[in-house]
Structure formats: structure tokens, C-alpha cells
Amino acid sequence: MRNFIVLFLSFILIIIMAYQLNQLTITTLNYFPIDSEATFSETATKLTVNRSDNERSILTWEIVSSHELNSYLNQDVGLLFKDGQLVSVQSKWSQTTSQLSQKTDLLALPNSLYQAISYHYLELHHPASQIMSANQMSTAQLYVTDSDSFQTPNTKQEKMVADKLINNTNKILEKNWSELIDYYQIDPNLYYQIPLIKLTQYQKTPLPGLTEADSNRVIAQLWEGLYKNYLLRIREQQINGGFMPLILLAKNHQHLYVLFTDDQGNYEQLIQKLNIN
């Protein structure tokens, strides 16, 4: 009887470990042709700050999505940056529910600019074995001061604070991106420069020089690459730190680069061929 219990518990442990490993490493953000008629009911990224009992400010970062489609799989992934540097990632997927919700609490540091971007993904299996996909991005930004937090500056004082935090963040990132461009000997005049957090601007407006269809495909393939080569590695190695990636879109539309510095200060470069006809 005792041996049976030990074997049973060992079997359960193996199942749990296999499930956790699968959740961590499964590559689900595969690019498939985009179904332009498939839409989400809701997608959102939220940043809020609340005071705890000991007067500490707690930053709550939420990612939610929902849809009414018969999807094979849905997944939300997100990245959170503080003053241009990575502080946290989130990822959740499901094959059994049409609603996803995930939340992380962190200590909110004063005089900081928090920016988050999320990618919401659906894999759709249509009749005749046709596999397609749908996606949506969402973003949020929050200014945190010693005594308050706000998303949009309304007063003169808030505008002064926002300008200062944005300028400080831009200086840090522009210095890092300049070093990366020099390191990889890239001519910046040949590229459109797009900070990762600004990618959501191209959901309704195509990327420079691209048609709407090509732009949507390039962005979906970009997130596939980011997930496999950036975000998944961060989750596996539990990495925090490093600077926000910069996307360099070639003006001849042959390729794009993703440049970033990891938490150890190592320079990284991802390359994506665009295949524009």
C-alpha cells in the first residue's frame, strides 16, 4: 500500500511538473494568415496605484481580453517598463475559455514613468483545415509622484511632472539606442525608428510605406519573433532589467531590426525579413 501511495504521488508530481513546464515554454504565438473579420469584444491594459496599510504605494498591472469566437487558442502577453527599463512580464493562454485576465502587483516607486504594452492573440481553426489568427494590441501609461499618480496630465503641475519624466526616460533610451545602432554599424537614416511602446499607433494606421494588409502581417510576425526570442527567454530565466527594444523598419521595406540591451548589458539584435511584394 505504501509503495502504491509513493508511486501515485510521484505520478501526480510528474504531471504537475510537465504542466508547469508546458505553460512556461509552449510557443503559441505562431503567425497564421489574419482573419480580418475576427474581432475581440474587449482588450485592455491597466495600470493603477493604491496605498497599502503601511502607506506603501502598490502598482497593479492588469491585462484582460475577451471574445465571442470559436477559437482554438487565445493568449495575452505583456511587458511593463519603468523609466524605459523592463521590470516585469506577463503571459497567459487558454484553450478552454474566451476570457483571459491576469494581474501583477509591484511596489510603485515615486517620480517614475510606467509604460505597459500587451499583445492579444487568437488562433482560429476554420473548416477545411484552414488555420487563421487575429490579434490586437493595448497599452497603458502611468505617471507616479511622491503623493499621487495620473494617466493623463490635466493641471499645469501635472504637465510639468509628465514632461520631466518623459524627457528623462527619452534621454536614457536614446543614449542606449544610439549605442546599439553604433555597435551594429547601422545607418539610422535608412530606417524608421519605432520604440516598442509606440507600436500600438500602427493598429489603425499602417507602418510607414506599407499597405494595411502588409502592416498587419509584419506586426503579427514581429510579435511572434518577440515572443520566441525575447519574452519567452525573459520568463524562462526570470530576467528583469534591460532597456525597451527599438524597432528599426528599413525604408526599402526589405527587413526590420529589433535592438535591445539585456539585464547583463549585452547587446542583442533580431532580424525579420518582410517579404513585401
11 falls within a domain: no
40 falls within a domain: yes
Total domains in the chain come to 1
Q: Is-contact 133 220, C-beta < 8 A?
A: yes
142 falls within a domain: yes
18 falls within a domain: no
Q: What is the pLDDT of residue 232?
A: 83
172 falls within a domain: yes
86 falls within a domain: yes
Residues 6+ apart with CB under 8 A from 268: 259, 260, 261, 262
pTM for this model (two decimals): 0.88
Q: What is the pLDDT of residues 24-76, one digit of tens each?
A: 445 578 999 999 999 999 999 999 999 776 678 999 999 999 999 999 999 99
Q: What is the pLDDT of residues 66-108, one digit of tens each?
A: 999 999 999 999 999 999 999 999 999 999 999 999 999 999 9
246 falls within a domain: yes
203 falls within a domain: yes
Percent of the chain exceeding pLDDT 90 equals 78
Which residues span the domain enclosing 186? 29-273
Name the strands in the sheet holding 191-195, side by side, starting at the edge strand that comes first in the sequence.
Answer: 191-195, 246-250, 255-261, 267-273
Q: What is the pLDDT of residue 12?
A: 43
